[in-house]
Amino acid sequence: MDAETVETHYAKHHATYTANLNKAAEEAGVADQTIEDILANLDDVVDEAQRTALKNNGGGFYNHNLFFEEITPGGAKEPTGELKAAIDEAFGSFEELKKQMTALAIGQFGSGWAWLSKDAAGKLYVSKSANQDNPISLGTGQTPIFTIDVWEHAYYLKYKNLRASFVENLWNLVNWDVVAKNYKG
């Protein structure tokens, strides 16, 4: 991943979502809640414009936190320990997880995300979502532990229209110690 993409994505896009989330949370009276609680309880926000602002900017904040943390340099280059066991149980192998999640990421029509998530029992699932939606705001009962951003701003400066090349390369950047920490979370 090139420096200009990361700089624009983190310091501009992510910063804007964060600022707009803070504003929306103040307006909706939920600024004292965790981001997970805000996204899980969007239905409690009666005002539709406030609810939409929280969903989109709260999702943008949460999703990008996960994304940028998981590509922290260093760490294990592939899943180990309990996480590896859970991946093998759910998908058969790490290669099969990569295959399924890559297909979801490439197949997401328009802007969105691909997800690896866990349920309360630690079982793993893959999914995709549009816009800044995520498994929490969609009410799936799952908690994301790894994600792939397939908005064009995540790859267009370097990869142009080649989303598949970006997704294939992203697997090389993942710090699996961070994902393992998210899994234990």
Residues 6+ apart with CB under 8 A from 22: 31
Q: Which residue is nearest to Mn ion (CB)?
A: 149
Nearer to Mn ion, 127 or 131 (CB): 131
Angle at CA of residue 166, ends 165 and 167, nearest 5°: 90
Q: What token pair was written down for 143?
A: 């908690």
Write down the H helix ranges in the chain. Answer: 3-8, 15-28, 35-40, 48-70, 81-91, 94-107, 156-159, 163-170, 176-184
Nearer to Mn ion, 8 or 140 (CB): 8
- Shortest distance, position 150 Cβ to Mn ion, whole Å: 9
Nearer to Mn ion, 61 or 91 (CB): 61
- Shortest distance, position 129 Cβ to Mn ion, whole Å: 13
- Shortest distance, position 90 Cβ to Mn ion, whole Å: 26
Nearer to Mn ion, 146 or 151 (CB): 151
b/e burial code for range 117-129 (CB count within 10 A of at least 16 → b): bbeeeeebbbbbb
What residues line the site for Mn ion (CB under 5 A)? 149, 151, 154
- Shortest distance, position 59 Cβ to Mn ion, whole Å: 10
How many whole angstroms separate alpha carbon 125 and alpha carbon 163? Answer: 22
Task: From residue 77, give the alpha-carbon distance in Å to each of 162, 168, 179.
Answer: 24, 14, 11
Nearer to Mn ion, 91 or 151 (CB): 151
- Shortest distance, position 171 Cβ to Mn ion, whole Å: 17
Strand partners, 112: 130
- Shortest distance, position 170 Cβ to Mn ion, whole Å: 12
Nearer to Mn ion, 150 or 179 (CB): 150
